[in-house]
Structure 1
Amino acid sequence: MSVVACDQYTSEPEYWQEVEKKVGDSPSTLYLTFPEIYLEDTNAEERIKRINNEMRKYINEGVLVSQKPCVLLVDRSTSHTPSRKGLIIAVDLEKYDYTVGSQTLIRATEGTVIERLPPRVKIRENAILELPHVMILIDDPNKTVIEPLASKIDSFEKVYDFELMMNGGHIKGYRIDDEKTLEGILKAIEALADPEVFKSKYNVGDDKGVLLFAVGDGNHSLASAKVHWENVKKSLSEAEIENHPARFALVEIVNVHDDGIVFEPIHRVLFNIDTESVLNAMQDFYGSSCCSFEKYDSIKSVNERLKALKKENAVHSFGFVTDNGFGVFTVQNPKHNLEVATLQDFLDCYVGKHKESKVDYIHGEDVVTRLGSKPGNIGFYLPSMEKHDFFKTVIIDGVLPRKTFSMGEAEEKRFYLECRKIVKD
């Protein structure tokens, strides 16, 4: 049974409890992955060992079916979109760098929190398989890479076709392994990476390296794969480095112009706080002369006020919810381009000073309302980002603040299904 990406529902233990009930003793990718809600549990080492053992067991017992070399064309439908198409391929981690200012072909689009990597690298350290929840974007407005394949989808062999659990929608996968089609895919990708086309497309100079693949989801997962590869590489010869399986990472490539790709905001909830002290701290942080907050009795009123404020220049506004009701916080003349960066500056500062408090990143306005309205919490609602400006923003401005956007709602994230060996036989 396939389960959703491990970095989802990290403040909703009831979701994962329900998943465990549904899976029971059935073979499942739940037992091959580590839901992040459990990362801080005391039995983490034991869980990692169990994951490694299950991987070997599933291979030995034929639960996992080996495939010939190929790429997979994926068609996913959800309650939010009738179709989102992608390609499952392996990318070269030598062409990827998550550090700020990177000019590599594959690039992080949001800030990578280095402190989050060690436990994730630990999970991969002795694993024989990787399961991808990484989604990588291409900027292909003429739809030259994936869409031509979708137009002849019936000519490919279908390898899976089933309903995903927990409102995850439906997924189909098709094997593509004929040489002519694979060559066409590679040529189309190479055309997107042409330096002259790149400079003309984004109106940039030679100082900007070609950005071909932009990490949309699973930034820390791919960064962990990179760190693991760098660790493995230290003990390899040049010949071994060339084709070692850990050098590559399995991802799903999607076109940012696909109608099924919708950029949703990632909201914030601050836990274990005193509401009034947080609001006062925000005014102190931004300066009381250039920020203010208003209280409202409903989310509808908040959204109406935010819509009106959007027309004003040099203003960042975001809604909030506490156990005392709703409100709107406004910052005049912000130093950042995005509301999320303005808010994140404060949250980083506040949590740094108040170690008992914790911030979580939430998909869905309704979840923010439910969690933020509990005593001792405050939830912040953030606006969505325009996806068609995404590549140019990253190329010119660099990485975005972490958790700036989400490609769809939580239940639309990648489900673990495909696996790939990362050790030599």
Structure 2
Amino acid sequence: MNFEKIGLQVPKILLPKPGTDMQKWAVIACDQYTSDRTYWQRLEEQTKGSLSTLPLIFPEVYLEDDDAEARIKSINQQMDAYLADGSLVEQQEGFILIDRKTCEVESRKGLIVALDLDQYDYNKGAQSLIRATEGTILDRLPPRIKVRENAPIELPHIMVLIDDPQRTVIEPLFNEDLETVYDFELLENGGHLKGYRIDQPELINKIAAALENLADPGAYKAKYNVDDAVMLYAMGDGNHSFATAKAIWERLKEEAVDKEAIMQHPARYALVELVNVHDPGLEFEAIHRVLFNVDVEQLKAEMESFFAERGTPMTFTACADLAEAEAVADKANNAHAFPVVFSGQFGVCSVAKPEFTLVVATLQAFLDKFLAENSAAKVDYIHGTQPVTDLGSAADGAGFYLPSISKHDLFKTIVFDGALPRKTFSMGEADEKRFYLECRAIK
């Protein structure tokens, strides 16, 4: 069942067979703990011998290892095996309503649906129904494409946001009498997850009608005071996974002999979790930066030179610890100030007369240039301040602590300014990220 006007498909979801240990089945998104191999090694031990999504994904901590091709082949073979031996069972067309408890929040609500990739555009200035919230790094797509292009199924960690302040789409569903599909504790401090089946036609139609109301051009114009094309969905987490699905779909269309028949291909859609940006359980966290393999004195000199040349001079103030650095940054006026840790030395970088609106954009402009000119240096994007402190305290390490943005301003910012700099915000801490669970056939 499709609702093309709002880019919505009612999917046939694949769930693990009855009796599966769901705690071992569900694992966290592959783009978490990207500098912590011990986390993923623990998962391997915890899920050994059990049905699990772990062998179906490519944790990004291993992306630069020499066995990438073999790992991808193994992933596709395991997917085929789970389909062939009945480990995955196709459900009747429907959605899954989700209630997630984490160590930070009592409840975060979501709805598993499929969205139309034909109505998504991640390019700058896009006016599509589904839009990227951050810049898409094209270099990050090829390894993901290799994983997905021959995969018979998809399993998403993608979370897509809707701007529903009146709570008309997802929240009313919790007042319905619904069948519980799963109810269990997640691994590794992930919290608790409950899922409810929604396959009743009347409820599905109510959901679609509520989304259509959000997408009404008149209501959209009144909400944002613009005459632009409607943006109903904004990417939250998993932007590059959604962009990967889009790239493969565009390739399929281009190569298709029967241009009409290809439009019915299951790869036209991608499985996602819809979340209301106004859900009290949804928290926006900053994404920090860590550099590896750098000469700290050279780094500081290049920062000073970079910002001086742009007429936005930077000063560095040494501090005793992170708390003092945060206090100094908070007192900065008319400047973009952010705490740093350079080889264990805390401090604050303050950029006067910044040319960008967001602090992250100011820093990222420098980092992009620095990384392009210093091939030995590497960057990682980190959730939480402690890992930044730990990694930035290495002799050849540097950490940058960044502020979070208000989630209530997100849609309006995208409408008026377009996509934000990449890795601007995170929806919760690392262990609050979506866990893989539901699957869907894409072949």
TM-score interval, smaller chain: over 0.9
Match of 1:181 among 198, 203, 209: 203
TM-score by structure 1 length? 0.96
Residue 119 (structure 1) aligned with residue 146 (structure 2): no
Moved more, 51-60 or 71-80: 51-60
Shift of 1:275: 1.0
Give 2:214's aligned residue. Answer: 192
Give the TM-score, by structure 2 length. Answer: 0.92
Task: Give unpaired runs (5+ residues) of structure 1.
Answer: none
Q: Partner of 2:349: helix, strand, or coil?
A: strand
For 1:61, the equivalent position in structure 2 comes to 85
The match for 2:178 is 156
Which whole-Å CA distance do the structure 1 matches of 2:175 and 2:366 have between them? 48
SS at match of 2:274: strand
Paired with 1:47 and 1:41, the residues of 2 have a C-alpha distance of 10
- How far 1:65 moved relative to its partner? 2.2
Local SS of the residue matching 2:355? coil
Q: Name structure 2 gaps, 5 residues minimum.
A: 1-24
Counterpart Cα distance in 2 of 1:57 and 1:380: 44
Partner of 2:324: 301
Question: Match of 2:418?
Answer: 398
Alignment partners' CA distance in 1, 2:98 and 2:344: 45
Give, in angstroms, the shift of residue 159 of structure 1.
0.7
Q: Work out the CA distance in 1 between the residues paired with 2:261 and 2:433.
A: 34
Partner Cα separation in structure 1 for residue 40 and residue 394 of structure 2: 21
Distance (Å, rounded) in 1 between the aligned partners of 2:28 and 2:346 = 31
Partner of 2:315: 292
Aligned partners of 2:133, 2:272: CA distance in 1, in Å?
A: 15
- What secondary structure is seen at the aligned counterpart in 1 of 2:58? coil
Moved segments of 4+, more than 3 Å: none
Q: Which position in structure 1 is the counterpart of 2:73?
A: 49
Amino acid at match of 1:253: L
Structure 1 range deviating more: 292-301 or 317-326:
317-326
Change in Cα spacing, 1:37 to 1:324, as seen in structure 2 (3 Å) is closer
Distance 1:101 1:129 in 2: 31
Deviation at 1:13, TM superposition (A): 1.2
1:149 alignment partner AA: L
Residue 167 of structure 1 deviates from its aligned partner by 0.7
1:86 aligns with: 110
**What does residue 15 of structure 1 align with?**
39
Range moving further from structure 2, 378-387 or 319-328: 319-328
Report the counterpart of residue 19 of structure 2 in structure 1.
none
Kindly provide the CA deviation profile for residues 273-299 of structure 1, in whole angstroms up to 9, marking residues without a partner as x. Answer: 011111111110101872101011111
Once the two structures are TM-superposed, the CA of residue 247 in structure 1 deviates from its matched residue by 0.3
The CA deviation string for residues 132-157 of structure 1, in whole angstroms up to 9 with x for no partner, is 010000000000000101233xx111
Deviation at residue 197 of structure 1 after TM alignment: 0.8
For residues 14-43 of structure 1, the C-alpha deviation after alignment (integer angstroms, 9 at most, x for no partner) is 111111111112111010111111112111
**Deviation sequence 1:77-103 (CA, Å, 0-9, x none):** 000000000000000000001111110
State the Cα distance separating 1:168 from its structure 2 match. Answer: 0.7
In the alignment, is residue 232 of structure 1 matched against residue 256 of structure 2?
no
Residue in structure 2 matched with residue 263 of structure 1 by the alignment: 284
- C-alpha contact (below 8 Å) 2:98/2:196 kept by paired residues: yes
Alignment of 1:252-401 (within 5 A): 252-287=273-308, 290-309=313-332, 312-313=333-334, 315-401=335-421
The aligned amino acid for 1:238 is K
In structure 2, give the amino acid aligned to 1:144. T
Note if 1:244 corresponds to 2:238.
no
| Residue of structure 2 in register with 1:97 after alignment | 121
For residue 2 of structure 1, the aligned residue among 26, 30, 33 is 26
Counterpart code for 2:366: F
Identity %: 55
237-246 or 63-72: bigger deviation: 237-246
Q: Match of 1:422, as an amino acid? A: I
User: 3-state SS of the aligned residue for 1:287?
Assistant: helix
Letter in 1 for 2:187: M
Contact 2:359 2:402 in 1 (8 A): yes
Q: Matches of 1:24 and 1:72 in 2, distance apart?
A: 27
Partners of 1:171 and 1:63 in 2: how far apart?
21
By how many angstroms is 1:236 displaced?
4.6
Code of the aligned partner of 2:100: R
SS at match of 2:347: strand
RMSD: 1.1
**What is the alpha-carbon distance in structure 1 between the residues aligned to residue 257 and residue 267 of structure 2?**
11
